[in-house]
Structure 1
């Protein structure tokens, strides 16, 4: 799945996003792109679970 995260603007943000996703699914495949403000995730977690953990971390996301 691909998520759009408007306030992921740098590498530090990308690390925080990665850490948040891994808290839900430690084995997730994660590819962040701060320049495009997107993250591609291969996971067994639901979109809702990822969106909740990202919102809680301060990085609200929308699915693309």
Structure 2
């Protein structure tokens, strides 16, 4: 899945986003691009679960 995360603006943000996603699926493959404010995720978790954990972490996301 591909998501836009407007608040992810730096490497530190990307680490927080990665950590949040890994809390739902520790085996997820995550490719963050802070400059584009985008993240690509290969996961077995549902999109709803990913969106919820990102919201809770302070990085609300929208699906592409």
Structure 2: 5+ residue runs without aligned partners? none
- 1:49 is matched with 49
- 1:17 is matched with 17
Q: Does 1:61 align with 2:61?
A: yes
TM-score (norm. length: structure 2) = 0.99
Structure 1: 5+ residue runs without aligned partners? none
Please list the CA deviations of residues 23-56 of structure 1 after superposition, one character each: whole Å capped at 9, or x if unmatched: 0000000000000000000000000000000000
RMSD: 0.2
User: For 1:54, what is the secondary structure of its paired residue?
Assistant: helix
TM-score (norm. length: structure 1) = 0.99
Q: Count residues with an aligned counterpart.
A: 64
Q: Distance in 1 between matches of 2:43 and 2:18?
A: 12
Deviation at 1:57, TM superposition (A): 0.1
After the TM superposition, which segments of 4 or more aligned residues of structure 1 sit over 2 Å from their partners? none
